[in-house]
Chains A and B, each alone.
Chain A
Amino acid sequence: MSLLLASPELELVFSALLLTLVAGLVVALLAARSVLTCILLMSAFSLTMALWLMTMDAPDVAFTEASVGAGVSTMILLGAALSSTDVIPSLRPGRLWFPAVACLAAFIGMALIVPDLPVFGDPGSPPSAYVGRLYLEQTPHDIGAPNVVTAVLASYRGFDTLGETTVIFAAGVGVLLLLGGQVRSPDAAPEDVSLRASAGSPVLSVAARLLIPIICLYAFYVLAHGEFGAGGGFQAGVILAAALILHALVFGVRETMKALPVGVVRACAALGVLGYAAVGFLAILNGGRFLDYDALLSPVFEAGLPSSHLAGGHHHWGQRIGILAIETGVMLAVASTMTAIFYAFTGRVSRSDAAGAS
């Protein structure tokens, strides 16, 4: 996603300027005295960060940062902050100086090592010249997917991604444990957290009916397209969850929970992780290593399939099927966990509102 500015050096300057903007938002955050301001600044921080990531040739990361950082995180932050006090009182200065000095010292310490770090944009630095370059060279031969980030994420370092999916699942388990006591059945669900004034508005409901299928379709596009361009299971999962959340906002959480009960959501999250692990076990049963997608298909069967035009005649059906399978597992786990977290938060917030009102 190079910007194609006149010279590569100008690109570096441009990205340094964007990073300055990001850091400026952090300064504003330091000074902010209202929770709502903090949340909006955090959201702006994530969006600007996503722009900066585009200038750094990291579209996959930018996609994730925009959807997870600016989207989902902001939403659950708003959900949790709704009924807490907004003003942040200042700390007594006596409590501030020690952490402040420690952080300043850490900053100076880190600044001292800058001369020893790789030069910005240096193609010959150890990270760019060694393993990073090997991935770029080997991917067509080993994986056959044009998007090297997806190849590394899903295949070379697929074990990391399994761990990451597990982290999301663990967060879902944790949130359901802490907040889920009340959201087991749709009848116990809160009356409504939809945009109350406009609930039932025909414009909104028609728009939502049109949009939700399109968003879902887009999620599957992002999932399947991860091999070729920016995207993959995580982003697809977040988008799918966004469709469900839109449904809840327009038609009310109770309707959404009737269509998709918490128990089902929880089971889907577990099944997503389980499906990912199952691909690993299947590879072992076929005589490969854990998560070795090349072992998924028998060579005889694979020889019968047409070879990919991208891979210079190599057969990579095992890799492609494996990547698609684990990305689907990731999507399922992420979408269900996000939905479960949304259920848990909205359930709680309106409950405590009701308690506060009565």
Chain B
Amino acid sequence: MSPFAGAQFASPEVIQHAPALLIAAPLTAACVAALSPSARWAWFASLGGALVSLWMALCLAAEVARSGAVSYAVGGFAPPLGIELRLDDLSVFFCLLVSVMGVATSIASASLLRLELPERDHSLMQAGFMLAFTGLLGLTATGDAFNAFVFLEVSSIGTYALVAMGASQDRRALTAAFQYLVMGTIGATLFVIGVGLLYAVTGTLNMADMAERLAASSSDTAAIAGLALITVGLALKAAMFPLHAWLPGAYSAGPTMVVAFLAGTATKVSVYLLIRFLMDVAGGLESAGEGLLTWLIAPMAGIAAIVASVQAVFQTETRRILAYSSIAQIGYVLLGVTSGSVAGLTAALFLLFTHAMIKTVIFLSLGAIDHRGSRLETLAGAGREAPWTIAALALAILGLAGAPFTAGFLAKWRLLGALADDGRIWAVVAIAASSLTALVYCGRILETVLFRTRRPAGATISEASPAALAAIWFLAASSVWYGVDASALYDLARQAAASVMGASP
């Protein structure tokens, strides 16, 4: 049972247009933010856009729980002529993920921006943030393969510049952003070439139509090549090992609000597209999607889990530790996705959601306590100056390490169980080894913020602003809640997994 069954968040007239409003609201907010005369008004615009999107995502979740997948023909043209927005259990799951993270980031954004950038840049930063948010929501909602490329670019183009704005704190943001731009563009272009190959075989761009025609097509070399290109392109975007080189730089040097939002959403949405294409669109191609999952993605995910965790241990900068940990987590998630069972995919989605919350909390709180310096030592003893923020940070780090009674623990436990049931012992070993390594770096962070006292000169720490604390604690408390009673989120994940596995027999 979906936790949204029977809920009604708006009148039917609004729900009918929810898929379009979900995307159009933050787009409007972006324009308003760019037009607004002051930083404060831009903040209100972004907050409003994010909240409307969350509202629409909730409406859609309820609607999908009530009557199954929602299809919206933009412009009134039925697919395959028009562009279809299509929301099933899987896409609604990711819509909720993106919009929750968007609202949390937006709440904290004004105070984070004040710490890092001059006021004249704030309204454009909010506009860029809303554009990235629009793009990611569009990606989760669209049912058209080329439209997905357009939203991929909408979500990326502004983001490159936003990451580069970290240069006011750390000049490496510029080179990191350039590398991110080159890799991101290569990824998106590989994706669009892949879509072109699928179009050459099927003659259509609508994903559902494409799936049907692929199932019926006789020769499928071109289709397999197309799927392979899409996989590589999305792997670049998702920072899947060994195509992750852009991520640590971007995460360690970008402005806090940008990194917090990206860490919680961008790579996750790429994983969504990967699932959509390999398990849904390629569902009819007997071995293609599954072959890519088993022979390309799964081994890389296993290596990522171990290598990235070990790399994280040897980092000296706090955000780099977390960036490598994110790469390892993407590895865990993909191991779950490739397990080929509903239980495995459910656990992977559950892990993905909890990890997004945890990482957003960590990045938000690191930025919000206003510490100058990127190295871990500059956080020594931060628990005394900023007890409230550090308490949330510590909770999140415990979740990242997989301590019992946290959502992180539950997610990993279920994932290991599902993988063991599928007989993927090597995957279980990889995740277990990686998790043990994670204890080392998580322990180091916890020890530094809670117990160390000697701090390098010049590093100052102060408590986060009330707005930032509200956002941080909202997410931290939810992650704790899901550690105690996971049923709501877990049911949502299971529905999502079942909907996509049902489509691929």
Show the binding face of A for B, using Cβ within 8 Å: 109-110, 112-113, 115-118, 125-132, 134-135, 138, 142, 155-160, 162-164, 166-167, 169-171, 173-178, 180-181, 184, 266-267, 269-271, 273-274, 277, 280-281, 284, 288-295
Chain A's closest residue to B167 (CB) is: A178
A201–B75 Cα gap in the complex (Å)? 52
A92–B41 Cα gap in the complex (Å)? 52
Q: Known pairs A174-B158, A270-B32, A290-B72; list 10 more (Cβ under 8 Å).
A: A113-B221, A116-B221, A125-B203, A131-B203, A134-B81, A156-B77, A159-B83, A167-B157, A170-B158, A270-B30
Chain A's closest residue to B73 (CB) is: A289
A305–B398 Cα gap in the complex (Å)? 69
Chain B residues lying within 8 Å of A267, measured Cβ to Cβ, are 34-35
A-B contact pairs, 11 of them (CB 8 A): A116-B201, A134-B80, A155-B77, A156-B77, A156-B82, A156-B83, A160-B150, A169-B31, A173-B127, A289-B72, A295-B76
Chain B residues lying within 8 Å of A115, measured Cβ to Cβ, are 221
A294–B30 Cα gap in the complex (Å)? 27
Chain A residues lying within 8 Å of B202, measured Cβ to Cβ, are 126, 130
Contact check: which of B21, B131, B199, B213 meets A166 at CB < 8 Å? B131
A162–B32 Cα gap in the complex (Å)? 16
Chain A residues lying within 8 Å of B165, measured Cβ to Cβ, are 177-178
Query: Chain A's nearest CB lies how many Å from the CB of B229?
Result: 9
A184–B121 Cα gap in the complex (Å)? 11
Query: Chain B's nearest CB lies how many Å from the CB of A289?
Result: 5
> Would A270 and B20 count as touching, CB distance under 8 A?
no
Chain B residues lying within 8 Å of A166, measured Cβ to Cβ, are 27, 30, 131, 134-135, 154
> Would A178 and B81 count as touching, CB distance under 8 A?
no
Within 8 A of A (CB), among B196-211: 197, 199-205
> Would A126 and B201 count as touching, CB distance under 8 A?
yes
Size category of the B interface is: 35 or more
> Would A184 and B120 count as touching, CB distance under 8 A?
yes
> Would B24 and A177 count as touching, CB distance under 8 A?
no
> Would A164 and B204 count as touching, CB distance under 8 A?
no
Contact check: which of A127, A173, A176, A180 meets B131 at CB < 8 Å? A173
> Would B222 and A117 count as touching, CB distance under 8 A?
yes
A280–B82 Cα gap in the complex (Å)? 15
Q: Could you mark each residue 32-61 of chain B with 1 if its beta carbon is under 8 Å from any beta carbon of chain A, else 0?
A: 101100000000000000000000000000
Chain A residues lying within 8 Å of B213, measured Cβ to Cβ, are 126
Query: Chain A's nearest CB lies how many Å from the CB of B130?
Result: 10
Query: Chain A's nearest CB lies how many Å from the CB of B179?
Result: 14
Query: Chain B's nearest CB lies how many Å from the CB of A233?
Result: 16
> Would A177 and B150 count as touching, CB distance under 8 A?
no
B498 at the interface (CB under 8 A from A): no
> Would B131 and A289 count as touching, CB distance under 8 A?
no
Query: Chain A's nearest CB lies how many Å from the CB of B121?
Result: 6
A177–B197 Cα gap in the complex (Å)? 37
Contact check: which of A112, A163, A280 meets B20 at CB < 8 Å? A280
Q: B interface, by DSSP: helix, strand, loop or mixed? A: helix
Chain A residues lying within 8 Å of B31, measured Cβ to Cβ, are 169, 270-271, 273-274, 277
> Would A289 and B203 count as touching, CB distance under 8 A?
no
> Would A163 and B197 count as touching, CB distance under 8 A?
no
Chain A's closest residue to B72 (CB) is: A289
Known: A117-B200, A291-B74, A295-B76. A178 touches B27 (CB 8 A): no
Chain A's closest residue to B219 (CB) is: A116
Chain B residues lying within 8 Å of A117, measured Cβ to Cβ, are 197, 200, 222
Query: Chain B's nearest CB lies how many Å from the CB of A299?
Result: 14
> Would B199 and A127 count as touching, CB distance under 8 A?
yes
> Would A163 and B150 count as touching, CB distance under 8 A?
yes
Chain A's closest residue to B28 (CB) is: A277
Contact check: which of A135, A184, A266, A291 meets B81 at CB < 8 Å? A135
Show the binding face of B for A, using Cβ within 8 Å: 17, 20-21, 24, 27-28, 30-32, 34-35, 72-77, 80-83, 118, 120-121, 124-125, 127-128, 131, 134-135, 138, 144, 146-147, 150-151, 153-154, 157-158, 160-162, 164-165, 197, 199-205, 213, 219-222, 225
A295–B76 Cα gap in the complex (Å)? 9
Chain A residues lying within 8 Å of B20, measured Cβ to Cβ, are 280, 284, 289-290
Chain B residues lying within 8 Å of A142, measured Cβ to Cβ, are 77
Contact check: which of B21, B24, B200 meets A127 at CB < 8 Å? B200
Contact check: which of A110, A177, A277, A292 meets B121 at CB < 8 Å? A177
Chain A residues lying within 8 Å of B203, measured Cβ to Cβ, are 125-132
> Would B128 and A167 count as touching, CB distance under 8 A?
no
Chain A residues lying within 8 Å of B121, measured Cβ to Cβ, are 177, 181
Chain B residues lying within 8 Å of A270, measured Cβ to Cβ, are 30-32, 34-35, 127
Chain B residues lying within 8 Å of A167, measured Cβ to Cβ, are 150, 153-154, 157
Chain B residues lying within 8 Å of A178, measured Cβ to Cβ, are 161, 164-165
Chain A's closest residue to B153 (CB) is: A167
A180–B146 Cα gap in the complex (Å)? 32
A181–B125 Cα gap in the complex (Å)? 13
Contact check: which of A118, A163, A290, A291 meets B154 at CB < 8 Å? A163
Chain A's closest residue to B181 (CB) is: A174
> Would A131 and B81 count as touching, CB distance under 8 A?
yes
Chain B residues lying within 8 Å of A290, measured Cβ to Cβ, are 17, 20-21, 24, 72, 74-75
**A-B pairs, 7 with minimum CB distance:** A174-B161, A126-B203, A130-B203, A290-B20, A292-B76, A163-B150, A170-B158
A53–B138 Cα gap in the complex (Å)? 31
Chain A residues lying within 8 Å of B199, measured Cβ to Cβ, are 127
Known: A116-B222, A273-B31. A159 touches B131 (CB 8 A): no
A175–B73 Cα gap in the complex (Å)? 34
> Would A173 and B72 count as touching, CB distance under 8 A?
no
Chain A's closest residue to B193 (CB) is: A110
Chain A's closest residue to B37 (CB) is: A263
A183–B78 Cα gap in the complex (Å)? 46
A130–B131 Cα gap in the complex (Å)? 34
B27, B32, B153, B219 interface centre (most CB from chain A within 10 Å): B27
Contact check: which of A155, A176, A266 meets B75 at CB < 8 Å? A155
Known: A156-B82, A158-B74. A170 touches B154 (CB 8 A): yes
> Would A113 and B225 count as touching, CB distance under 8 A?
yes
Chain A residues lying within 8 Å of B147, measured Cβ to Cβ, are 157, 159-160, 163
